[in-house]
Amino acid sequence: MLEKSKKAKGSARDMYKQRCVNVLKKRKQYDNQLKAYMNQQFTLDQVGFTSENIQNTIEMVQFPSFRPKP
């Protein structure tokens, strides 16, 4: 499409240019959505890790015989 826009003249060139701009805008939008998704996934992973640590701590407190001796 970029090559066609370079060879085109007049209104056809403007049309190709607008299409290229729209494609770049869509790509940026998708990239931003991907970043947001990855951030959400990271947050969920952190919540899961924290929950597991809390559960482990509760089990250690409930069963003191399993605690390591200092």
What domain range is 25 assigned to? 1-47
- pLDDT score, position 10: 82
Whether residue 32 is contained in a domain is answered as yes
The DSSP code sequence of the chain is -HHHHHH--THHHHHHHHHHHHHHHHHHHHHHHHHHHHHHHHHHHHHHHHHHHHHHHHHHHH-GGGSPP-
Whether residue 41 is contained in a domain is answered as yes
User: What is the number of structural domains in the chain?
Assistant: 1
Whether residue 59 is contained in a domain is answered as no
- pLDDT score, position 12: 82
Whether residue 69 is contained in a domain is answered as no
Q: Which two tokens stand for residue 2?
A: 């970029």
Tell me the pTM: 0.61
Whether residue 54 is contained in a domain is answered as no
Nearest to 62 by CA among 23, 54, 34: 54
Model pLDDT for residues 5-64, shown as the tens digit of each residue: 667 778 888 888 898 899 999 999 999 999 999 999 999 999 999 999 999 998 888 876
- pLDDT score, position 6: 66
